[in-house]
Amino acid sequence: MELFQRENRRLKLTPAGEILYRHSRRLLAPMEAAVSELDMLRGLKTGTIRIATVESVGLSFVPRLIADFSQRYPRLHLDVSVASSAEVIARIVDERVDIGFGFIAGTPRGIEVAVRREVHIGAVMLPDHPLAARRALTLADCLDHNVAVAKPEISFREVIEPFLQRLSLSRLPLVEVDSIRMLVELAQIGHHISIMTPIGAQNEIQRGELVFRPLDEPGLPTNRFGLMLRAAGNLHFAPAVFYEHARQHFEAIVLPGAV
């Protein structure tokens, strides 16, 4: 099958040649884009990474992750927002952000979960609290003391809600807040035990200012953390570089309360 034909001393593509040319251009376009992005990776150009994170991960891990990344790639712009897990997922699906950090019950539709880590839900308190000497607690143990819990906007409240319903009606009133930071602060003041995952209080736990004790409740599931991006989405150069940096970071770190 001929690909070229001669007309007036010039070569011209035949219909078969036109078909082959069109397909070859489609094959070469991704390669050309890859070469362009590799040039950008060498620092020739800048880019923007849009990130959404839940508050607890934003308190514990994201600042160090961003600081390390910015040292390596100082010309890249990072746009970081804090939202609920449901909102993080919605922003990824709607392409308002490139990468998200949040807690998930399963694999949400339209989302690819790159890294999954399971952590226990438990009680955060001062090291000298009467319950701190015990290695595991029940909710009933905790509710004999002053307890602070997250409002339903925070993902793990849904996980513990059936267990609270069984116990709290005849117990002391709960303090309910919509901020992980406030749960940590309440535990640090010492008047309350805060029911939460250790993510969000990780720095205080590592410094010995607080302790975490997992809840030993039959049937209580763990909370699943995920590094997320849009399914079948092709990340641009800057988000792809940050994604790989974040993936390696979260696969390597030791999470308090991890399963």
Calculate mean pLDDT across residues 31-45. Answer: 55
What 249-255 contacts at long range (C-beta under 8 Å, 24+ apart), as own/partner pairs, is 249/61, 249/65, 249/68, 250/61, 250/115, 250/117, 251/115, 253/61, 255/117, 255/119, 255/198, 255/199, 255/202, 255/225
Calculate mean pLDDT across residues 191-219. Answer: 93
78: β partners:
49
Paired sense of beta strands 99-104 and 48-53, if any: parallel
What per-residue confidence (pLDDT) applies to 44? 37
- CA 81, 83, 85: angle at the middle one, nearest 5? 130
Question: Alpha-carbon distance 92 to 88, whole Å?
Answer: 6
Question: Which of 118, 133, 126 shows the shortest CA–CA distance to 204?
Answer: 126
Calculate mean pLDDT across residues 79-99. Answer: 93
What per-residue confidence (pLDDT) applies to 228? 92
Calculate mean pLDDT across residues 61-84. Answer: 90
Q: How many helices (H) and strands (E) does the chain have?
A: 9, 12
Residues 112-134: tens digit of each pLDDT: 888 888 889 999 999 999 999 99
Instruction: Report the share of the chain in percent with pLDDT over 70.
Output: 80
Calculate mean pLDDT across residues 190-195. Answer: 94
Residue ranges of domains in the chain, CATH in brackets? 4-43 (no CATH), 46-118+223-252 (3.40.190.10), 121-214 (3.40.190.290)
Q: Does pTM surpass 0.85?
A: no
Question: Alpha-carbon distance 187 to 193, whole Å?
Answer: 5
Residues 97-108: tens digit of each pLDDT: 999 999 887 777
Tokens of 159: 């996980």
Q: Helix H segments across the chain?
A: 15-39, 55-60, 62-72, 85-93, 139-142, 155-167, 180-189, 202-206, 237-252
pLDDT band for position 52 (50/70/90)?
Answer: very high
Question: Alpha-carbon distance 123 to 187, whole Å?
Answer: 9
Calculate mean pLDDT across residues 192-199. Answer: 94
